[in-house]
A and B are shown apart, each in its own frame.
Chain A
Amino acid sequence: AQSVTQPDIHITVSEGASLELRCNYSYGATPYLFWYVQSPGQGLQLLLKYFSGDTLVQGIKGFEAEFKRSQSSFNLRKPSVHWSDAAEYFCAVFPHYGGSQGNLIFGKGTKLSVKP
């Protein structure tokens, strides 16, 4: 069965420091992969997505993620964190079975706190 694991429940970084949030997935084929961000009391906002091609993808708000098939990972990175990045981050896989129909399977999320 498809699944997504986010090993870190809570991460605290200092403002201006770099960030890496880990994500591992289990899926039988090349997955569609996503990172979403959720601010308190809010819905989900898409940061970036990977379907195929270049394994380093750029997203909004200065985020990027790298797909590593050999490690079944899709880690999210940001070179310099801003206080406004404090939120919860969700990695998700979309089992597409070759088409565009399907649903998202989410990890449990990583809560990011930013120290001034």
Chain B
Amino acid sequence: DAGVTQSPTHLIKTRGQQVTLRCSPKSGHDTVSWYQQALGQGPQFIFQYYEEEERQRGNFPDRFSGHQFPNYSSELNVNALLLGDSALYLCASSHRDRGTEAFFGQGTRLTVV
């Protein structure tokens, strides 16, 4: 079992560009959550996807959007990047009936210059 995998590992983008981050959940999991971890901060919840729909959303602007595919993998898209979007983006997967048992990926380090 490969666990939760995220790609790419690192990414550098220019302010104003768009970025797509990818996440493959742990085998048997159908729910994917995304978190943003700014430097020196704890992770903050962005949104959660289940059955290809956004089920919950944190306090993030509409520039942050996502998608879940039929195989449960997910993408996080960020438009019009700001310097403040520089962070570690973590994906967590879980089963719909066991939301407390979340497994985290290694994260994608996004740097906006």
Contact = CB atoms under 8 A, between A and B. Distances in A.
Interface of A: 4, 6, 32, 34, 36, 41-45, 49, 51, 90, 92, 94, 96, 99-109
Contacts of B43: 44, 90, 104, 106
Contact of A101 (B44, B45, B55): B55
Interface of B: 4, 33, 35, 40-45, 48, 55-56, 58, 90, 92, 96-100, 102, 104-107, 109
A5 to B, nearest CB: 11
Of B35, B100, B105, B106, the most chain A CB neighbours within 10 A belong to B100
Q: Is the interface of A mostly helix, strand, loop or mixed?
A: loop
Contact of B100 (A43, A100, A106, A107): A100
Nearest to B41: A108
B107 A104 contact: no
Given A108-B41, A109-B41, 19 more contacts: A6-B42, A32-B100, A43-B4, A43-B105, A43-B107, A44-B92, A45-B104, A94-B100, A101-B56, A101-B99, A102-B100, A103-B45, A104-B35, A104-B43, A104-B92, A106-B42, A106-B44, A107-B42, A108-B40
Nearest to A94: B100
A94 B45 CA distance: 11
A4 B40 CA distance: 15
Contacts of A42: 106-107
Contacts of B42: 4, 6, 90, 92, 106-109
B34 to A, nearest CB: 10
Of A42, A44, A92, A106, the most chain B CB neighbours within 10 A belong to A44
A96 B90 contact: no
A36 B35 CA distance: 14
Contact of A49 (B97, B100, B106): B100
B105 A103 contact: no
